[in-house]
Amino acid sequence: LMVLMGFSNFMVVVVLISVAVISVGFPIILSLAGTIYGLASALNISGAIMNERLQGRYLILGVTPSGFLGASWALSSISVQNSQVLRQLRNGLGGIYGIIALIMLLPFIVTTFLYVASNNTPHIYMLWSVLIVGFSFLLFCLVDFFQSACVGSLVGIIAAHHNKTRGQTQNSVVANFLALQFGTYIAAGFICLLIIPGLFSLINYPITPFYGYICVTVVYALREILIIILWHGLAITVDDDVDQLNRLTRIRIRDRSWTGHMARRLLRLLWRNPMD
């Protein structure tokens, strides 16, 4: 009997620890899913371009009307679409995001109705606030996923043009992509945890549950600036201009914008055209 009681207590402890690990670890893994997918995309794309370069076919593709830009864009698109790992990640994350949204949607509707009907109930407001924060976290995961995929694609294309071996390319992709990703997170954290709360305190404005959406907007804005810089970096790398990029990829980056001038001046100091 004592053995059974000891075993049951042990199982309770194991279950509690497992629940705690899942409760803490799952959001962390989910928040890093975009980084994982972006890194996998960058490695996949850079590997596809390096294969063509090492086998001598990339220079032939570069003489087509679309040039090296069209060749690299086509190779990156094909490699992403044909990768089983990336496809499984997209499908798996899409299902997880959808399930989380559906799980939170009904409680959110109910608590919103109850909160509007009786706004003097503190525990209803607390639950409603938690759901608001939860939706902001889900929005962050979605925004981070799509933007990380874009950053990974651009880093993969650029890195494949600036290295001579597969090993150098992989090291360059991992180092540069992670540096850009975590640099963005650190900058966003500095703004959201220090600068914006300081401004709110100066004007005596309270931090509400909707503050998470402000943080998501900050992350989105910083990442968009980074993506614009990388687009200009790609144009410099393949010795092309942004107008050609706009025609081929249907993006809307202006070559003569202040961001474009700043990005091109910075990148011309850091990158030399490897096709020269």
Q: What is the pLDDT of residue 216?
A: 94
Higher pLDDT, 61 or 170: 170
Average pLDDT, the chain: 79
Q: What is the pLDDT of residues 199-222, one digit of tens each?
A: 888 888 887 888 889 999 999 999
Percentage of the residues of the chain whose pLDDT score is greater than 90: 20
Q: Is the confidence at residue 98, as pLDDT, over 80?
A: yes
**7 and 50 in one domain?**
no
Q: Quick check: is 129 in a domain?
A: yes
Same domain flag for 103 and 60? yes
Question: Phi and psi of 164, rounded to 5°?
Answer: -105, -20
Most confident segment among 18-22, 58-62, 151-155: 151-155
Residue 122, pLDDT > 70, answer yes
Asked whether 107 and 127 are in contact (CB, 8 A), the reply is yes
Is 259 in contact with 225 (CB distance < 8 Å)?
A: yes
pLDDT of residue 111: 81
Indicate whether 248 belongs to any domain.
yes
pLDDT at 7: 45
Residue 102 shares a structural domain with residue 26: no
Residue 275 lies in a domain: no
pLDDT at residue number 17: 60
Domain shared by 12 and 133, yes or no = no
Whole-angstrom distance, CA of residue 150 vs CA of residue 142 = 13
Residue 153 belongs to domain spanning? 32-270
Residues 6+ apart with CB under 8 A from 112: 128
**Amino acid present at 96:** I
Give domain status of residue 276, yes or no.
no
Question: Do 133 and 214 belong together in one domain?
Answer: yes
The model's confidence at residue 11, banded by pLDDT at 50, 70 and 90, is low
**Separation CA 26–CA 32 (nearest Å):** 10
DSSP letter at 1 equals -
Give me 263's structure tokens.
């990005």
Same domain, 191 and 110: yes
Tally of domains in the chain: 2
